[in-house]
């Protein structure tokens, strides 16, 4: 079975975990600090704050930046539901924005501008599929409308431009990401005082951590702010340190596999539409190549294509069911119309992409996809 994604885990990760267990200290401590410093260096960032998930990192960032009840946050509906949920956690309201086009499924600046109101406090960008949005465009947008700019960089680990233009950028290390700690995330920020506030907020608002108190043999602490339990542990940090060493090589392998997909699928003609095709390899456009999304023809039902490909032992999935069509959001924020997002959501199919694949695997997927599309069209 060719899976959609597959982590690379081996002897180095196993040894790193054993070292943590043997150390006798498994909660947040020196390995977390070392991982933060290494991730910040890898992305040319000033400060990094490790957390137990990208979701908690999103919530923590919004809270630390003062987003709260009565505020509105512009956000794409084409994202994993955690992006929108994190806005609701603060008491603010997500305002869903359409994508620019089927070929460029990133947040549309024109639609975002049309939805700015006096209550709009921030815009939460999503670097979908690992493609980083236009820095100049969105920093100018934020200045014009006096908004806080935040980057959901869950897909973009290893892209150096990710995290360089928002007040905060949040990365994911979930099991299907370009590097993994099983669960976990990282926040990058430039402002030192904001970074310090986030470090306190992630650990209940405590003035010192357990490891810090042990180091100086202190027994007391204060809680000057209401915080959360969003800490990363030493085991995940140890995994992260090992994974980070290979991240850029893995991303380069993803780039080569993506290039092979594009060349083969273009040669097939009308099998699928390739989002980001014009941007692939374009000067100034950076990507981690996290996933490989394609758009099926309107007359090829997606369930039939997926069934046919699973018979060929090829897994596919969907990125993503639009948030505003999920039942919770249909109940709480009804009546939203995002035509391009909805069309993309109806036709999108995610193909296997991970560093352990070969070019032969890519060819196998493309042949299967072509046959599955013909089959689905006939069945329809």
Domain boundaries, the chain: 11-241, 247-379
**What is the DSSP secondary structure assignment for residue 317, as one 8-state letter?**
B
Determine the average pLDDT of the residues in 216-222.
Answer: 76
| Phi-psi region at 86: left, alpha or beta (left = phi > 0; alpha = psi -120 to 50) | alpha
- Provide the pLDDT for residue 282: 56
Is residue 128's pLDDT more than 80? Answer: yes
- Provide the pLDDT for residue 344: 98
Is residue 326's pLDDT more than 80? Answer: yes
- Provide the pLDDT for residue 94: 98
- CA-only gyration radius of the chain, Å: 21
CATH of 11-241, one of 3.90.1150.10, 3.40.50.620, 3.40.50.300, 3.40.640.10: 3.40.640.10
Say whether 253 is catalytic. no
- Provide the pLDDT for residue 58: 98
**Are the C-beta atoms of residues 236 and 26 closer than 8 Å to each other?**
no
Is residue 340's pLDDT more than 80? Answer: yes
Tokens standing for 42?
């890898």
**How many residues appear in the chain?**
380
In the numeric block, the tokens 């990192």 are attached to: 57
Q: Which helix (H) or strand (E) element contains residue 113?
A: helix 109-114
Provide CB contacts within 8 A for 245, sequence distance 6+. none
- Provide the pLDDT for residue 63: 98
Is residue 55's pLDDT more than 70? Answer: yes
247-379: same fold as 11-241? Answer: no
If we measure between CA atoms, which residue out of 287, 283, 284 comes closest to residue 257?
287
Lowest mean pLDDT segment, chosen from 20-34, 255-269, 276-290: 276-290
* Tens-digit pLDDT profile for residues 138-172: 999 999 999 999 999 999 999 999 999 999 999 99
- Provide the pLDDT for residue 48: 98
Q: Compute the distance between CA of residue 32 and CA of residue 232 in angstroms, rounded to an integer.
A: 7
Provide CB contacts within 8 A for 80, sequence distance 6+. 154, 320
**Are the C-beta atoms of residues 345 and 275 closer than 8 Å to each other?**
no
Taking the alpha carbons of 281, 287, 290, 293 in that order, is the dihedral positive or negative?
A: negative
Q: Is the peptide bond between 76 and the residue preceding it cis, with omega within 30 degrees of 0?
A: no
- Provide the pLDDT for residue 88: 98
If we measure between CA atoms, which residue out of 332, 343, 11, 290 comes closest to residue 162?
290
Lowest mean pLDDT segment, chosen from 119-133, 206-220, 285-299: 206-220
Give the count of beta carbons closer than 10 Å to the beta carbon of residue 44.
11
Residues in a beta bridge with 72: 93, 120
User: CA dist 93 to 100, 147, 257, 299, Å?
Assistant: 22, 15, 39, 36
Q: Which helix (H) or strand (E) element contains residue 121?
A: strand 120-126
**Mean per-residue pLDDT of the chain:** 95
The pLDDT confidence band at residue 4, using thresholds 50, 70 and 90, is: very high
Tokens standing for 70?
């009565």
Between strands 185-189 and 168-172, the pairing is antiparallel
- Provide the pLDDT for residue 270: 83
% pLDDT > 70, the chain: 98
**What is the DSSP secondary structure assignment for residue 356, as one 8-state letter?**
T
Q: How far is CA 120 from the centre of its chain?
A: 23
- Provide the pLDDT for residue 281: 55
Q: Which helix (H) or strand (E) element contains residue 303?
A: helix 302-311
In the numeric block, the tokens 């702010």 are attached to: 225
The pLDDT confidence band at residue 269, using thresholds 50, 70 and 90, is: confident
Fold of 247-379: 3.90.1150
Give the count of beta carbons closer than 10 Å to the beta carbon of residue 117.
8
* Tens-digit pLDDT profile for residues 70-123: 999 999 999 999 999 999 999 999 999 999 999 999 999 999 999 999 999 999
Catalytic residue among 115, 177, 253, 340: 177
């Amino acid at each position: 079975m060719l899976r959609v994604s597959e982590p690379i885990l081996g002897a180095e990760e196993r040894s790193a975990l054993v070292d943590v267990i043997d150390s006798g200290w498994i909660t947040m401590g020196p390995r977390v600090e070392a991982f933060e410093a290494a991730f910040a260096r890898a992305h040319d960032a000033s400060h990094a704050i490790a957390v137990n998930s990208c979701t908690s990192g999103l919530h923590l960032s919004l809270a630390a930046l003062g987003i709260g009840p009565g505020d509105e946050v512009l956000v794409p509906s084409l994202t994993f539901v955690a992006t929108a949920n994190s806005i609701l956690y603060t008491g603010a309201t997500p305002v869903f924005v359409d994508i620019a086009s089927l070929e460029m499924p990133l947040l549309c600046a024109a639609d975002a501008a049309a939805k700015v109101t006096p209550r709009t406090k921030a815009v939460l960008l999503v670097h979908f599929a690992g493609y980083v949005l236009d820095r100049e465009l969105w920093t100018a947008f934020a200045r014009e409308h006096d908004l806080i700019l935040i980057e959901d960089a869950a897909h973009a680990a290893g892209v150096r431009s990710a995290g360089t233009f928002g007040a905060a950028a949040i990365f994911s290390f979930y099991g299907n990401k370009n590097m993994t700690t099983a669960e976990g995330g990282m926040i990058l920020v430039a402002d030192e005082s904001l970074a310090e506030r986030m470090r306190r907020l992630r650990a209940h608002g405590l003035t010192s951590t357990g490891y810090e108190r042990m180091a100086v043999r202190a027994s007391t602490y204060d809680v000057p702010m209401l915080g959360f339990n969003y800490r990363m542990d030493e085991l995940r940090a140890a995994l992260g340190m090992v994974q980070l060493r290979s991240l850029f090589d893995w991303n380069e392998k993803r780039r080569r596999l993506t290039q092979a997909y594009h060349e083969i699928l273009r040669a097939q003609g009308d099998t699928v539409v390739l989002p980001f095709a014009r941007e692939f390899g374009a000067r100034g456009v950076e990507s981690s190549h996290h996933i490989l999304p394609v758009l099926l023809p309107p007359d090829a039902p997606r369930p039939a294509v997926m069934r046919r490909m699973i018979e060929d032992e090829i897994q596919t999935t969907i990125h993503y069911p639009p948030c505003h069509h999920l039942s919770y959001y249909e109940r709480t924020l009804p009546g939203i119309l995002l035509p391009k997002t909805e069309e993309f959501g109806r036709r999108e199919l995610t193909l296997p992409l991970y560093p352990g694949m070969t070019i032969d695997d890519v060819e196998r997927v493309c042949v299967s996809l072509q046959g599955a599309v013909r089959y689905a069209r006939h069945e329809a």
